[in-house]
Chain A
Amino acid sequence: MGGATAALDYDAELMLRVKDGDGASFAQLLEKHRSPVIHFLYRMVQQQAVAEELAQEVFLRVYRSRATYEPTAKFTTWLFRIATHLALNQLRDGRNERSQERLDERPEGMPAVEVEDRRPSVEQSMVRQAALDEVRRAVADLPGKQRAAVLMHKYREMEYTQIAKVLNCSESAVKSLLFRAYETLRARLAHMA
């Protein structure tokens, strides 16, 4: 946890420097948190272009809030609270059509995925893709807050207390959210073992 505390202090320190007008510190924060935020949003809304658009809004809000920023919470808690809020709004507004992107679709400027020489056979790829689609559908069918909790717990390895702060609920509510979410996922994905 020492490393996490150090990271907290450093991120908050950077944000305080942004508050003092240091644009380079904002660039450092962006560099560090860009991918985690986009990946979280991508798994929330399941459309890369939408995820990047939302991430733009997240960092724009961080930048706009610099003047009033106070390090009362961990920087990542604040950052993911903004991201989660925007993602849940996106899901609630029904703008997410839940259309799964095809493998050959990628946003403008995104590099093509490098394929290694030892690529699997067509059949293996199809099986893997079908499994992945099943995982994505199972996660997409979770209610918004359960989905956010699972994604923060699984992919960001956040502790219950931090997830609770992001979702603005109690720690026991987070445990309950996670338990219900994993129970649902288990019912749908356990056969994949």
Chain B
Amino acid sequence: MKCPLETREDREILVAYSSRALNAGDAGRLEAHLESCAACAEFVRGQRAVWEALDGWEAAPVSAGFDRRLMARIAGQASWRERLRGRLGMLLVYRALPATAVAALVVVGVMLERPSPPSVPQRAKAQVEALQPDQVVRALDEMEVLDQFNHRMKPDSSAPEM
């Protein structure tokens, strides 16, 4: 077997072997090489030491209120979006009133002048009105998702896990 330390590409075999991720066939061939190559044997010893040192680093348990905090943030965000959507809706209505009045006057004027099919401003108004049920459906969907999430997460299930 060619010495893995000779090329950078082959060195990963030593890393894989040290982390016990090498398949049995390759591991066997490498072990035979390690018996006669002090440099590779030293590399593997050092790598195993790193691996074991990292093994000793355990992560702390997750705090008990993690899910509750996340749920509150999601709920807060949803209600914020609903409030914003409501305000934008109101704004749209208030903004739309003068525009609609102007559009209506234009339409009336045009109709008096020359009877014709519905004008563009009327279509625009219809689109604004058509958006409202869609917004309501989306808000209801969001509330339903949160309700299901709440139902599933009570009581808080963020049990510590290592």
Contact = CB atoms under 8 A, between A and B. Distances in A.
Interface of A: 18, 21-24, 26-28, 30-31, 34-35, 38-39, 42-43, 48, 52, 55-56, 59-60, 63-64, 106-111, 113, 128, 131-132, 134-136, 139, 150, 153-155, 175-176, 178-179, 182, 185-186, 189-193
A24 B152 CA distance: 6
A49 to B, nearest CB: 9
Given A35-B161, A56-B73, A179-B8, A131 B148 contact: no
Most-contacted residue by chain B among A23, A56, A64, A185 (CB, 10 A): A23
A27 B65 contact: no
B4 to A, nearest CB: 11
A193 B45 contact: yes
A38 B15 contact: no
Contacts of B148: 22-24, 27
A108 B63 contact: yes
A62 B68 CA distance: 17
Given A21-B144, A190-B46, 16 more contacts: A22-B145, A23-B144, A23-B149, A24-B149, A26-B145, A31-B157, A34-B158, A38-B62, A48-B60, A110-B64, A135-B53, A135-B56, A139-B54, A182-B15, A182-B50, A186-B47
A190 B49 contact: yes
7 contacts: A28-B152, A52-B63, A135-B56, A139-B54, A178-B12, A186-B49, A190-B45
Contact of A154 (B51, B150, B152, B153): B51
Interface of B is mostly: helix
Contacts, number: 138
B11 to A, nearest CB: 6
A115 to B, nearest CB: 14
A161 to B, nearest CB: 13
A34 B63 CA distance: 11
Contact of A56 (B12, B49, B53, B69): B69
A34 B53 contact: no
B48 interface: yes
Nearest to B18: A182
Contacts of A155: 54
Interface of A is mostly: helix
B126 to A, nearest CB: 26
Given A34-B66, A52-B62, A60-B73, A192 B57 contact: no
A91 B62 CA distance: 21
A59 B70 contact: yes
A40 to B, nearest CB: 8
A101 B32 CA distance: 45
B51 A111 contact: no
Given A59-B70, A60-B73, A135-B53, A106 B15 contact: no
A76 to B, nearest CB: 16
B57 A132 contact: yes
Contact of A135 (B46, B54, B141): B54
B25 interface: no
Contact of B67 (A30, A64, A131, A178): A30
